[in-house]
Amino acid sequence: MAAIAVFLIAEAIPALQANNSSFLTELLWTPNNTPPVFGIGALAFGTIMSSALALAMAMPVAVGVALFISHYAPRKIAGALGYVVDLLAAVPSVVYGLWGVIFLVPFMQGPSEFLNEYLGWFPLFSGDPVVGRSMLTAAIVLAIMILPIIAAISREVFLQVPRMNEEAALALGATRWEMIKMAVLPFGRPGVMSAAMLGLGRAMGETIAVALIFPATFGITFGILGPNGNSIAANIALGFAEAGEVGRGALIASGLVLFIITLVVNMAARMIIARRSGASA
């Protein structure tokens, strides 16, 4: 891991030195021009924005799926249903990308216009023009891709809730939902939170699916329905083939930033779990 960092830094330095702008704040990405100008600003924004949106969409569904399998579905078929959700994770990301760009992009045109028309007062849904190939569509694909891992981890922690605590809640006259609220969710919260962090890390690092969908623009726009959007990972995939020497170094520098962000997110996830197991031991 240290080796990864060292080699990435070593290859990034010359490009950073050639850069004619501030790497951290510049929005443009034109490292192959003379003089080269590039910065991580727009890309980091797109990465965080798309991942946060994806997480916001995936979380409720994933927790619902986990509860469905752990506490609602008939026992006999729960295992098989869990396997169906795991299959979602087995679909390669390039296939999601293909599906996203050929099917979901045109499909999203209508719903996006609808959102824009009726909820346009809300900054996220504002703006003109409205297209299918947008930040929202990319985030939906990301949400689908991170859903299985969040659902799988949440399901495991929900199944670990001591049976006796669930029975205690039921014996107090709780309905199933009240039992879940009383015994299952509080017990599972740290596990679900760390699952969310892991999912966030996945979403940030996801490359190919979003590279096919993102319009690959360089700017910071809050409207998620317009033809905007890019991410560090997608930019590496798309920019690599045409990159010259400085361009490659610039991409490596951006990869380093991605590496650090995901590292922090993943460490946070581990820390949540570690703190929990330390407390209950």
- For another protein, the closer of residues 85 and 127 by Cβ is 85
Tell me which of 108, 153, 198, 225 binds another protein, using CB under 8 A. Answer: 198
Give the CA distances from residue 224 to residues 23, 26, 199, 258, in Å, rounded to whole numbers and listed in that order. Answer: 25, 21, 21, 22
Minimal CA–CA distance to 149: which of 212, 71, 203?
A: 203
* Cβ 42 to another protein shortest distance, Å: 18
Size of the site for another protein (CB under 8 A): 95
* Stretch of 22-30, 36-44, 124-132, 266-274 contacting another protein, by CB under 8 A: 266-274
* Cβ 199 to another protein shortest distance, Å: 11
Radius of gyration of the chain (CA): 21
For the segment 163-182, give every residue that binds another protein (CB under 8 A). Answer: 164-165, 167-178, 180, 182
Tell me which of 16, 18, 52, 88 binds another protein, using CB under 8 A. Answer: 88
Give the CA distances from residue 8 to residues 40, 194, 201, 281, in Å, rounded to whole numbers and listed in that order. Answer: 16, 28, 19, 40
User: For 28, which DSSP code?
Assistant: -
Minimal CA–CA distance to 93: which of 200, 204, 208, 198?
A: 208
Neighbour count for residue 85 (Cβ, 10 Å)? 18
**Residue 13 interacting with another protein (CB under 8 A):** no
Tell me which of 79, 106, 123, 244 binds another protein, using CB under 8 A. Answer: 79
For the segment 100-159, give every residue that binds another protein (CB under 8 A). Answer: 101-103, 144, 147, 151, 159
Residue type, 251: L
* Cβ 116 to another protein shortest distance, Å: 22
- For another protein, the closer of residues 36 and 223 by Cβ is 36
Cis peptide before 92 (omega within 30 of 0): no
SS3 label, residue 247: helix
Report yes or no: 69 and 81 within 8 Å, Cβ to Cβ: yes
- For another protein, the closer of residues 127 and 169 by Cβ is 169
**Residue 56 interacting with another protein (CB under 8 A):** no
For the segment 226-255, give every residue that binds another protein (CB under 8 A). Answer: 233, 236-237, 240-241, 248, 251-252, 255
